[in-house]
Structure 1
Amino acid sequence: MKRYYVYIVECSDNLLYTGITNNISRRIEEHNAGLNRTSFTYKRRPVMLKFHQEFNDVNQAIFFEKKIKKWSAQKKRALIGGEFELLQILAECRNASHSDYKPEE
């Protein structure tokens, strides 16, 4: 059965990069080897693997990768650290138009 991985690496400048692969060790080696001069990580090497999640279904992996790519660095770091309570707090909507923030009449 094929496995897919969504991963987060921390770059040498402390920025985070999120990606997807079917071979996590090969992909980290590729990032660090700098095979693609136009990639986000090329000038930010070396990278260190900070998080990975395994999936059996490529569509689930793609969905999860797209979801966490939109997250803030703070939220990604909470995921990396296993700080699930903080992750929940950061996930809450803070928009002034959200129902929790509308003034009571």
Structure 2
Amino acid sequence: MCEWYAYFVRMPNNALYCGITTDVERRFSQHCQGKGAKALKGKSPLTLVWSENAGTTRSDATKLELYLKRLPKQTKEALVSGELSLTQVVEAN
């Protein structure tokens, strides 16, 4: 059984990209090299600003990723800053 993680990457235009992976550092490195997500290609410099455990199955992680992507920017920023925890955000909705 492997652990899945959800993460946010900040782009230079201050937008947040959300993704899931089993290895956050490897995936972030791929993003920095221009591999993987089309949304991040050519958008350097990128900054990994948040990651959190998203469960033990890809299905659970994907559901969380879709949930996070639909959150308002203000709530995403509160997660990144530590003002809110993932548990608080999920339980609030």
TM-score by length of 1: 0.72
Distance 1:76 1:10 in 2: 11
Other-structure match for 1:72: 72
Distance 1:30 1:21 in 2: 11
Other-structure match for 2:50: 51
For structure 2, the residue ranges without an aligned partner over 5 or more in a row are none
Aligned residue type for 2:21: T
Distance 2:24 2:84 in 1: 24
Aligned residue type for 2:40: T
Question: What is the aligned residue count?
Answer: 88
Other-structure match for 2:84: 84
Query: Would the aligned equivalents of 1:31 and 1:45 in 2 still touch at CA under 8 Å?
Result: no
Q: CA RMSD in A?
A: 2.2
Aligned residue type for 2:39: F
For structure 1, the residue ranges without an aligned partner over 5 or more in a row are 93-105
Distance 2:52 2:61 in 1: 8
SS in 1 for 2:42: helix
Other-structure match for 1:2: 2
Query: Would the aligned equivalents of 1:19 and 1:65 in 2 still touch at CA under 8 Å?
Result: yes
Larger Rg: 1
Other-structure match for 1:42: 41
Offset of residue 71 of structure 1: 1.3
